[in-house]
Amino acid sequence: MEYRTEHDSMGEVSVPKDSYWGAQTQRSINNFPIGKEKMPEEIIKAFGILKLACARVNNRLKPEKMTDEKLSLIEGACKEIIDGTLLPHFPLVVWQTGSGTQSNMNANEVIANRGNELAGSVLLHPNDDVNMSQSSNDTFPAAMHISAVTETRIHLIPAVRVLIDALKTLEKENEGIVKSGRTHLEDATPITFSQEISGWRSSLEKDIEMIEYSLIPLSSLALGATAVGTGLNAPKGFDRMVAEEISEITGLGFVTAENKFHALTSKDELVFAHGALKALACDLMKIANDIRWLASGPRLGLGEITIPENEPGSSIMPGKVNPTQCEAVTMVAVQVMANDTAVGISASQGNFQLNVFMPVCIYNHLQSIRLLSDVCLSFTKNCVSGIKANREKMNSNLHNSLMLVTALSPYIGYESCAKVVHLAHSEGLTLKEACLRLGYLDEKKFDEYFHPERMV
């Protein structure tokens, strides 16, 4: 590999000749050979957005320094970052400085070097021009919020809505099918299958409401705070104008943070937003578990529904098929719950004017968004859309349920009903046989009162 020499305030560094990054990025590569977890692509694109916005605002507020020519070069490089063309030039791992300074400088160096290449001369300096009116301490938190809001709105919420729509279709298809309810994993009073599905659907709708609400505080940006929150070296109005520019670029609503000292040191907005992601994960866990329990069998389980048979389930048991999509959902849910712990602990580590656990915080947050988005689409396509009710099994289970005795409670009382159940269970009788033997009702009255399909 051929190298070129770059320099920073600490001296000269050898950098791969064909890379757009510079000395500070290379020092990070050399000093942090830790793991394989790269800075998320979503953060890199967010840096492209915010650097573009900052240059445009600087051009308006400080045209003597951010000239039209420099702005044009920065715009060209930033657009290539946003469209993914320059992603190979962002090699840094998550496990770097906790402020994300090296990733900010990675963006500054790539934009400057690519811009200078476009110009055919050295016009841009990574710090003086690309980082003008900024600090790593306010750009990285801003990139965190931009990426989290963008990915949630563009990918996660639409993916959850796809799953909700599939459940709505399933709900309508199964109206009127009465089955046994279950509480504590034990037989309970009847429910319609559509009612059961409606519970799943409503849970996801509530999750979207909570996720949407969490994006309100997450849409505030730290830009304009610079190093410690005072806004040193940023022109008046920069913070408000850059938030407006980012809103224009993304088509999403961003505002400047009301208190910049809070914006640098606290990550409570990300904790709050990830809490909503965790709520979604919890509901997906419940729904996936319900579906695999209901589909268990095919002969020795509940067997009340069938799900698509997508692939062989065993390397030794021929013909076995497993609820693999449900298992994928539950594994994603576990990962998101674990990520919530990492996000929370990271947010607790703000010291004085800065939090220095930001890369690990946003890495876990974005992974949760990505996994939840993907698994909702996969679960919908490969499982939920193919669910079929086994009406015969549902009907058989319903009429074998001892909890149907609840329909008789208004007529013979709770304690008498309990005696009917215990007798029926111990001697293998039907509820009718047990009730008649105990003399609580005659056959005519039993048939008059006992209608499971009316209990829903």
Could you tell me which of 45, 125, 122, 38 has the C-alpha nearest to residue 80?
45
Q: Are 378 and 162 in contact (CB under 8 A)?
A: no
String of b and e for 147-181 (b: at least 16 CB within 10 Å)?
A: bbbbbbbebbbebbebbbebbeebbeebeebbbbb
Q: Which helix (H) or strand (E) holds 15?
A: strand 11-16
The answer to whether residue 89 is catalytic is no
User: CB under 8 Å to 49, separation ≥6 — which residues?
Assistant: 78, 82, 146, 246, 249, 250
Residue 212: how many other CB atoms lie within 10 Å: 13
Strand, helix or coil for residue 177: coil
Question: Is the Cβ–Cβ distance between 212 and 234 less than 8 Å?
Answer: no
**CB 256, CB 221: distance < 8 Å:** yes
CA distance 232 to 240: 15
CB atoms within 10 A of CB 91: 16
Which of 14, 202, 314, 348 is labelled catalytic? 314
CA distance 396 to 149: 48
Active-site option among 9, 184, 315, 426: 184
318 secondary structure, DSSP code: T
C-beta of residue 61 within 8 angstroms of C-beta of residue 235: yes
Locate 105 and state its tokens.
Answer: 């400088």
Beta strands 186-192 and 354-355, pairing class: unpaired
Strand-pair partners of 183: 186
Residues 375, 284 contacting (CB under 8 angstroms):
yes
Name the nearest CA neighbour of 23 among 122, 86, 108.
108
Residues ≥6 apart with Cβ < 8 Å to 219: 145, 149, 252, 253, 254, 255
Token match 């193919």: residue?
386
314 given a catalytic annotation: yes
Instruction: Map tokens 């791969």 to a residue.
Output: 16
Q: Which long-range contacts (CB under 8 A, 24 or more apart) does 230-235 make?
A: 230/260, 231/260, 233/133, 234/133, 234/134, 235/58, 235/61, 235/62, 235/133
Q: Which residues are tagged catalytic?
A: 184, 314
